[in-house]
Amino acid sequence: MLAIVSRAENQVEIVFGTDAYYGKEISVDEMRFRRFMSIACGLACMGAMVTGDLFDFTLFVSLVGICNVGIVAAVKTKHVQNAAFQYGIVALTATVPLFGGAAITAATTGTLSMIALGTALAGPVPFIAQAALVLGVMGEGMAPFYAAKAEMFRAPGAPYVIMCSFSSLLIFLRVVEVVLTI
Amino acid sequence: MIIGRISRFLSDFDNLMPVFAGACALLFVLGILLLPLPYSESQLYPKRIDRASSLDPYDRGGPPFTQANISMQYPENSPTAGYVTTYLTPFSWWLSTTTLHLGTTIVAHPGGILDEILYNTRGLDTVVEPTILFIAFAIASYLFRKGI
């Protein structure tokens, strides 16, 4: 009955020790921007999941990372924005091992097609390329460098941060598959 | 105990950047130790550098708007590949025919430094790269307009 009559859309914080409480207002503009970022993140996730090319995979993963930064940075809280800044720097740094891994793969095997790399014809992908790929994907949004995002779940009115989690889960599964295949 | 300490350390987002940079540095040290890596001679996307070209080092071969022979991973997917071999705007084209310095301006033509890794009708790359750029611009403009 309570669930029927309640309108549990707004987050309310209670001040301990007193009777005071304050609600958090989310502007429509902010929600609209984060919805756009979530949709872009979902499309990038789909691309990263279905692509058969190593370089396209790294591009889609970096797109996922940028969209996650956008979802988080739209929150108008100073604490969250500081976290978003740090996370953005990590995502920026992660592009070096990410694209480096793809470049080493291209140089040592001569191709970037995962189908061709999966066969024995292309030759073995060096360990350092696989490790760089995994580290790059970790930086773009995976545990344990993911702790910043756990902070975002406390962000005011945040249905869209779930997309961050979901995307990182998907690209985690995909990078395991890629590293096992090539 | 130790897990609790690690998790407490990682939950402070100010520590994320040093941890990740340390991991990258470790990996690159390991990479230097694992050198030399073999270079595959049969590259699908061969790279020829023509120092005399005005587009150096971005010369991708072939004049614009005529079909050129280019190598592809899956030729059956793109039968019309090679019609546009360079994405030069008229201004860039003029600059490249009059000076020798277009190659020093990465922004002069789309693609730029990213597809220096490989370029030959890798069409989806050139779509995803501007997408990343536009998303970044959208975030930056939103942050700029909303203030704190």
A31-45 residue pLDDT tens: 788 888 888 888 888
Query: How far off is chain A from B73, nearest CA to CA, in Å?
Result: 7
B138 touches chain A (CB under 8 A): yes
- Chain B residues near residue A135 by CB distance under 8 angstroms: 23-24, 27
- Chain A residues near residue B24 by CB distance under 8 angstroms: 93, 96-97, 135, 139
Identify the weakest region by mean pLDDT among A49-53, A119-123, A130-134, B1-5.
A119-123
- Tens digit of pLDDT for each residue in B65-78? 566 666 677 777 66
DSSP state of A79: H
**Whole-model pTM?**
0.74
Q: Say what the pLDDT of residue A149 is.
A: 55
Q: Which of B30, B114, B148 faces A78 most closely, judged by CB atoms? A: B148
Name the residue of chain B whose CA is nearest to A67's CA.
Answer: B135
Q: Say what the pLDDT of residue A113 is.
A: 80
Mean pLDDT to the nearest integer, B91-116: 59
Distances (CA, A) of A53 to A102, A108, A161, B13, B47: 10, 16, 28, 33, 19
Examine the pLDDT at A90 and tell me if it is beyond 80: yes
Q: Tell me the average pLDDT of chain B.
A: 71
Q: Say what the pLDDT of residue B111 is.
A: 45
CA B133 to chain centre: 12
Identify the weakest region by mean pLDDT among A13-17, A26-30, B95-99, B110-114.
B110-114
- Chain A residues near residue B128 by CB distance under 8 angstroms: 47, 56, 59-60, 63
Examine the pLDDT at A154 and tell me if it is beyond 70: no
Give chain B's count of helices (H) and strands (E).
Answer: 4, 0
The identity of residue B140, as a single letter, is A
A22-31, A119-128, B108-117 — most confident range: A119-128
Query: How far off is chain A from B132, nearest CA to CA, in Å?
Result: 5
A11 touches chain B (CB under 8 A): no
Interface subset of B 95-114, CB within 8 angstroms of A: 114
Q: Say what the pLDDT of residue B29 is.
A: 92
Q: Which of B24, B45, B122 faces A93 most closely, judged by CB atoms? A: B24
Nearest to A166 by CA among A14, A2, A27, A46: A46
- Sequence spans of domains, chain A: 27-181
Name the residue of chain B whose CA is nearest to A84's CA.
Answer: B13
- First and final CA of chain A: distance in angstroms? 55
- Chain A residues near residue B10 by CB distance under 8 angstroms: 144-145, 147
Interface subset of A 158-177, CB within 8 angstroms of B: none
Query: How far off is chain B from A66, nearest CA to CA, in Å?
Result: 7
At B26, the pLDDT band (50, 70, 90 cuts) reads: very high
A64-78, A161-175, B14-28, B33-47 — most confident range: B14-28
Instruction: Given the cut 0.85, state whether the ipTM is greater than it.
Output: no
Query: How far off is chain B from A78, nearest CA to CA, in Å?
Result: 8
Examine the pLDDT at B2 and tell me if it is beyond 80: yes
**Could A102 and B114 be called an inter-chain contact, meaning their C-beta atoms sit closer than 8 Å?**
no
Q: For residue A96, what are the contacts with CB-CB under 8 A and spacing of at least 6?
A: A136, B24
